[in-house]
């Protein structure tokens, strides 16, 4: 039996014992993403849940929460409509088409912040959930930082399942030790480390994947190069995208790209993370869903992979939060509410997050369930300065992000820093 199956069986056992055992109402089993089946009792209802968690580490996290859901609501069939593609690049397009056609899934994954408020709330596509927060007592356990990012006009619009950290530098500890390289904490140390690795024969010390992973790298370099206040100011209208500080950060980004693999555009984030544990690269900048992936493929923390805040971002937690919404006119509204209750529950979050590589949104997690990396993330989340992610929906709405993405695509091809900066200035002017 694989570790993942063992973990799932353990969670199922816990759930069944918490529910006082099998009451004969039927059992829900999860054979894999999209393969939830219910036997025994007649199926009375279903809930369709939409996400992009199909890949390594991600599907396993969702599966663990589906098991908890199945234990609590055996009469509801869980229809897993996940669409593959990291960061929702494909899923969000499919979702947009469905919403336009007035065929919403009952509940879908959306990022806390501008993605949620600027897209689904602005288009009146989701229902406020204040009543559920009151019923479930969630205002007492969800972080105060998060509530404004999922609220508009006094209404709360989603149920956060986690907090992910975006600014993580994943390392190969063996390679760093063999080359006498300390984990870099500044941009200059990082570049010096990668120069040394290249001189020692490693072609591409920094592993990168498809375009969204380069936007992810960009946001961490902007933060690391400019600092916490100047980075935040870029998004709240008080910063200056044409400043010398942005030019310097873009030059740093250009330099960081010079250490990356030439086949990046053909690689998923998992492929890129794999290059680090395989020893073909020493570094990868990726959110902590990479930890879920490393664990799923049997890698050991601090031996096969190490971690640190990305260079220049020590003491800063650049975050994002996955949350689930209730569709307006949801085809199965009651079942969707049942799903949201599990997504917001301690049991659901403590099943999902240790596998997904995130910390629970709730502040009452059972710490004994979390590994060394996630415990360090919990401590950092409660003590660091907090900045938001661009790539994962916190700081910019979809239209601003999409203009930045277009400018980034051009930059990856022409590497013209001045043209890139001019396009970023124009993107802010058009959207802020
Ligand atoms: C993010 C999402 C994470 C993870 C990642 C890679 O946008 O918030 O949960 O799924 O994409 O797919």
Q: Note the pLDDT tens digit of each residue in 31-40.
A: 333 333 333 3
With CA atoms as reference, report the closest residue to 260 among 315, 225, 302, 213: 213
With CA atoms as reference, report the closest residue to 204 among 182, 175, 177, 184: 175
Model pLDDT for residues 344-358, shown as the tens digit of each residue: 999 999 999 999 999
What pLDDT is attached to residue 111?
A: 98
Is the CB–ligand 1 distance for residue 58 below 6 Å? yes
Report the C-alpha gap between 148 and 311 in whole angstroms. Answer: 29
Query: What stretches of 42-140 show up as alpha helix (H) in DSSP?
Result: 58-72, 91-100, 114-115, 130-136
For 154-183, give one letter per residue: b (16+ CB within 10 A) or e: eebbbbbbbbbbbbbbbbbbebbeeeebeb
CB 49 within 8 Å of CB 339: yes
Closest atom of ligand 1 to 321 CA is 8
Model pLDDT for residues 267-284, shown as the tens digit of each residue: 999 999 999 999 999 999
Decide if pLDDT at 2 tops 80.
no
Decide if pLDDT at 341 tops 70.
yes
Name the residue with the closest Cα to ligand 1, atom 10.
Answer: 87
What pLDDT is attached to residue 107?
A: 98
Residue 204 CA: distances (Å) to CA of 12, 194, 195, 303, 396 = 43, 8, 10, 21, 31
What pLDDT is attached to residue 57?
A: 86
What pLDDT is attached to residue 395?
A: 98
> What element of type H or E holds 402?
helix 398-414
Is the CB–ligand 1 distance for residue 164 below 6 Å? yes
Residue 19 alpha carbon to ligand 1 centre in Å: 31
Work out the average pLDDT over 97-107: 98
Is the CB–ligand 1 distance for residue 357 below 6 Å? no
Report the C-alpha gap between 76 and 363 in whole angstroms. Answer: 28
Decide if pLDDT at 15 tops 90.
no
Closest atom of ligand 1 to 51 CA is 10
What pLDDT is attached to residue 128?
A: 98
Residue 221 alpha carbon to ligand 1 centre in Å: 19
Query: What stretches of 161-314 show up as alpha helix (H) in DSSP?
Result: 173-178, 187-199, 211-226, 228-236, 244-257, 269-278, 289-296
Closest atom of ligand 1 to 320 CA is 8
pTM of this prediction? 0.90
Work out the average pLDDT over 400-414: 98
Is the CB–ligand 1 distance for residue 388 below 6 Å? no
Decide if pLDDT at 164 tops 70.
yes
Name the residue with the closest Cα to ligand 1, atom 7.
Answer: 87
What pLDDT is attached to residue 21?
A: 29
Decide if pLDDT at 255 tops 90.
yes
CB 64 within 8 Å of CB 3: no
Work out the average pLDDT over 230-246: 98
Decide if pLDDT at 100 tops 70.
yes
Closest atom of ligand 1 to 85 CA is 12
Residue 393 alpha carbon to ligand 1 centre in Å: 10
What pLDDT is attached to residue 6?
A: 37
Report the C-alpha gap between 142 and 344 in whole angstroms. Answer: 9
Check residue 368 and report its DSSP letter.
Answer: G
56: confidence class by pLDDT, cuts 50, 70, 90 = confident
3-state SS track over 126-173: ECCCHHHHHHHCHHHCCCCCCHHHHEECCEECCEECEEEECCEEEECH
Decide if pLDDT at 401 tops 50.
yes
What pLDDT is attached to residue 44?
A: 59
Residue 201 alpha carbon to ligand 1 centre in Å: 33
CA atoms within 13 A on the CB side of 102: 1
50: confidence class by pLDDT, cuts 50, 70, 90 = very high
CB 395 within 8 Å of CB 174: no
Model pLDDT for residues 58-91, shown as the tens digit of each residue: 999 999 999 999 999 999 999 999 999 999 999 9
Give the angle subtended at the CA of 137 by the CAs of 136 and 140, to the nearest 5°: 150
196: confidence class by pLDDT, cuts 50, 70, 90 = very high
* Cα 198 from chain centre: 31
Per the prediction, the chain carries an average pLDDT of 91
What pLDDT is attached to residue 9?
A: 39
In three-state secondary structure terms, 322 is strand
Work out the average pLDDT over 202-231: 98
Q: In what order do the strands lie in the sheet with 168-171?
A: 206-207, 283-285, 168-171, 306-309
Percent helix, strand, coil in the chain, to 5, is: 50, 15, 35
Residue 352 alpha carbon to ligand 1 centre in Å: 14
Residue 402 CA: distances (Å) to CA of 392, 397, 408, 430 = 12, 9, 10, 12
């Amino acid at each position: 039996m694989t570790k993942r199956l063992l973990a799932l069986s353990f969670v199922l056992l816990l759930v069944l014992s918490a529910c006082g055992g099998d009451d004969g109402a039927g059992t829900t089993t999860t054979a894999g993403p999209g393969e939830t089946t219910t036997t025994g009792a007649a199926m009375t209802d279903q809930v369709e849940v939409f996400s992009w968690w199909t890949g390594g580490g991600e599907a396993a996290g969702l599966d663990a929460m589906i098991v908890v859901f199945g234990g609590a609501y055996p009469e509801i069939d869980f229809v897993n409509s996940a669409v593959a593609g990291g960061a929702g690049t494909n899923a969000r397009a499919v979702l947009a088409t469905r919403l336009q056609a007035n065929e919403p899934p009952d509940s879908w994954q959306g990022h806390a912040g501008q993605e949620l408020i600027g897209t689904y709330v602005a288009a009146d596509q989701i229902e406020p959930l204040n009543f559920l927060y009151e019923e479930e007592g969630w205002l007492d356990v969800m972080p105060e930082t998060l509530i404004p990012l999922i609220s508009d006009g006094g209404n709360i619009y989603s149920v956060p399942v986690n907090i992910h950290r975006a600014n993580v530098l994943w390392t190969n500890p063996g390679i760093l030790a063999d080359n006498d390289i300390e984990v870099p904490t500044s941009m200059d140390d990082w570049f010096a480390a990668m120069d040394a690795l290249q001189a020692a024969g490693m072609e591409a010390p920094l592993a990168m994947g498809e375009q969204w992973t380069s936007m992810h790298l960009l946001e961490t370099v902007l933060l690391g190069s400019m600092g916490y206040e100047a980075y935040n100011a870029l998004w709240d209208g008080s910063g200056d995208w044409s400043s010398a500080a942005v030019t310097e950060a873009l030059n740093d980004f250009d330099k960081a790209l010079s250490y990356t693999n030439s086949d990046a555009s053909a690689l998923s984030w998992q492929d890129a993370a794999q290059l680090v544990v395989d020893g073909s690269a020493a570094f990868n900048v990726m959110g902590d869903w990479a930890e879920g992936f490393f664990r799923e493929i049997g890698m050991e923390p601090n031996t096969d992979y190490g971690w640190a805040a990305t260079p220049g971002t020590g003491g800063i937690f650049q975050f994002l939060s996955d949350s689930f919404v209730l569709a307006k006119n949801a085809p199965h509204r009651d079942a969707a509410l049942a799903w949201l209750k599990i997504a917001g529950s301690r049991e659901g979050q403590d099943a999902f997050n240790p596998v997904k590589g995130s910390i629970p949104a709730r502040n009452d997690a059972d710490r004994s369930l979390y590994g060394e990396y996630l415990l360090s993330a919990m401590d950092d989340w409660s003590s660091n300065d907090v900045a938001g992610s661009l790539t994962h929906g916190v700081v910019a709405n979809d239209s601003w992000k999409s203009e930045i993405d277009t400018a980034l695509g051009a930059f990856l091809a022409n590497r013209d820093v001045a043209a890139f900066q001019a396009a970023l200035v124009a993107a802010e002017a058009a959207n802020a």
